[in-house]
Amino acid sequence: MYEQGSTQRDFVSDAAAAAAAAASDGSRHVLIKVSGIPPGMSEDVVRMIFENKRYGGGEIKTFEFCQSDNTAVIEFESSSGSFIR
């Protein structure tokens, strides 16, 4: 869940779709699937939310946004951050 001021947006990250994978350099990357993105929310806004360290985000390695079904698949550079628990 993401909150800012009086506006509340619910995102569901599919725990079954979350996976930590070892990269070729030995670092850990985390992949999550986010559903329930409000219709009309732009890709840039979704990316900013999940990059924002203040709200538990982190550095994004890859980002796939599908506005037609209100989902995103996000791969983070590391497994730190509160979105990834």
* Tens-place pLDDT, residues 11-41: 555 444 444 444 555 566 788 999 999 999 9
Task: Count how many domains the chain has.
Answer: 1
* C-alpha 71: how far from chain center: 10
DSSP-derived letter for residue 41 is -
Q: Is residue 47 part of a domain?
A: yes
Percent of the chain, pLDDT > 90?
42
What pLDDT, on the 0 to 100 scale, is given for residue 24? 54
Pull the structure tokens for residue 2.
């993401």
Q: Is residue 8 part of a domain?
A: no
Pull the structure tokens for residue 47.
């990316």
Q: Is residue 82 part of a domain?
A: no
Domain ranges, residue 42: 30-68
Q: Is residue 25 part of a domain?
A: no
Q: Is residue 45 part of a domain?
A: yes
